[in-house]
């Protein structure tokens, strides 16, 4: 398993960092076998695997449950877990307490917080011994205000994001996720920081990339964002297999002798 310091060293060595957002044992197991550097247990699980409309309904218990499953599937992969909506937005004291609780209960290697409003929580959590990943640009927990669209498109907004990125680094963040921002801005932020940047919809100039397992493999996802490249098509394979199963059960082809226990209990 890579350590936080080793991931930072990868930036210094100009070695790209690979991250996938996964939520359960089988996807984590596959990710580790494929050699991913890091796994993010994202609160996007609300929409992707729980069927919610947004991340807002996701709870601390949900994140702990899924993070534990991921750790069982990928015990040797650096794992980051999202703080869910509302768990660090009320007071710094409560927010830090929840960060410590999620870190301790989930078994993750780091905890991720969204937005610039949590700088003091990052600072205090790091002082308490928790590695923290920051997240700027499009922050899904705030889409009710910002919408799902590119962020920091003006010069003023871009300059603020550069400043915000330096603030989260100064607070002690060990990595920074940059989502849905112009590529040249992501490149500028990356060059200005000593910690790794992980991009999603932020171009090729970041220190690493993250995609959601279910998006990149087309597993349950109906529409892919502009910045997603599909590397598989589980939807088609699953639909084909399920339809064949229905056909064989209806026609009596399944189960056959090869899939049936052969020992007789009753004599004819």
The pLDDT, as a whole number, for residue 143 is: 67
15 phi and psi angles, rounded to 5 deg = -100, 120
Place of tokens 């997240």: 135
Instruction: Return the minimum-mean-pLDDT range out of 140-144, 163-167, 180-184, 194-198.
Output: 140-144
Q: What is the CA radius of gyration of the chain?
A: 21
**Model pLDDT, residue 139:** 84
Q: Are 173 and 134 in contact (CB under 8 A)?
A: yes
Report how far residue 126's alpha carbon sits from residue 169's, in angstroms, rounded to the nearest whole number: 11
Angle between helix axes 155-171 and 183-192 (nearest 10 degrees) is 30
Residue, of 84 and 261, whose pLDDT is higher:
84
**H helices then E strands: how many in the chain?**
11, 8
The CATH code of domain 4-233 reads: 3.20.20.60
Torsion over CA: 247, 249, 253, 256 (sign): positive
* Digit-coded pLDDT (tens) for 226-260: 899 999 999 999 999 999 999 999 999 999 999 99
pLDDT tens, residue by residue, 30-65: 999 999 999 999 999 999 999 998 899 999 999 999
Q: Is 179 a catalytic residue?
A: yes
Annotated catalytic residue within 32, 169, 179, 187 = 179
> Tokens for 236?
């088609």
pTM as predicted: 0.94
Q: What is the DSSP string of 104-142?
A: HHH--SEEEEESGGGHHHHHHHHHTT--EEEEEES-GGG
pLDDT range class, residue 202, cuts 50, 70, 90: very high
Q: Which residue has the higher pLDDT, 224 or 14?
A: 14
d(CA 166, CA 189): 8
Is pLDDT above 60 for 145?
Answer: no
Annotated binding site for Mg(2+): 43, 82, 114
Residue by residue, what is the 3-state secondary structure of 137-155?
ECCHHHHHHHCCCCCCCCH
Q: Name the nearest CA neighbour of 141 among 82, 224, 99.
A: 82
Q: What percent of the chain has pLDDT over 70?
A: 97
Q: With 90 as the cut, is the pLDDT of residue 116 above it?
A: yes
Taking the C-alpha atoms of residue 6 and residue 50, their distance in angstroms, rounded to an integer, is 33
What's residue 225's pLDDT? 85
Which tens digit of pLDDT belongs to each residue from 65-84? 999 999 999 999 999 999 99
Contact status, residue 226 vs residue 203, Cβ threshold 8 Å: no
Task: Cite the annotated binding site for 3-methyl-2-oxobutanoate by residue number.
Answer: 43-44, 82, 112
């Amino acid at each position: 398993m890579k350590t936080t310091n080793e991931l930072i060293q990868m930036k210094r060595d100009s070695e790209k960092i690979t991250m996938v957002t996964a939520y359960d044992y089988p996807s984590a197991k596959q990710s580790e076998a494929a050699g991913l550097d890091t796994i993010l247990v994202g609160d996007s699980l609300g929409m992707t695997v729980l069927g919610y409309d947004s991340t807002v309904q996701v709870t601390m218990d949900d994140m702990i449950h899924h993070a534990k499953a991921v750790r069982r599937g990928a015990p040797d992969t650096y794992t980051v877990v999202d703080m869910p909506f509302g768990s660090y937005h009320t007071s710094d004291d409560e927010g830090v307490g929840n960060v410590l609780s999620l870190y301790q209960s989930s078994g993750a290697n780091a905890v991720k917080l969204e937005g610039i409003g949590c700088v003091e929580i990052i600072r205090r959590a790091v002082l308490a011994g928790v590695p923290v990943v920051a997240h700027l640009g499009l922050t899904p927990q705030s889409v009710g205000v910002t919408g799902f669209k590119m962020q920091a498109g003006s010069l003023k907004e871009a300059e603020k994001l550069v400043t915000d990125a330096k603030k989260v680094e100064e607070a002690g963040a060990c990595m920074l996720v940059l989502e849905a921002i112009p590529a040249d801005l992501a490149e500028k932020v990356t060059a200005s920081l000593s910690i790794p940047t992980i991009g999603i919809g932020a171009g090729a100039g970041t220190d690493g990339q993250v995609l959601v397992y279910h998006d990149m493999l087309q597993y349950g996802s109906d529409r892919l964002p502009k910045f997603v490249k599909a590397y598989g098509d589980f939807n088609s394979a699953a639909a084909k297999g399920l339809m064949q199963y229905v056909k064989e059960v209806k026609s009596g082809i399944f189960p056959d002798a090869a899939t049936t226990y052969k020992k007789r209990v009753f004599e004819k």
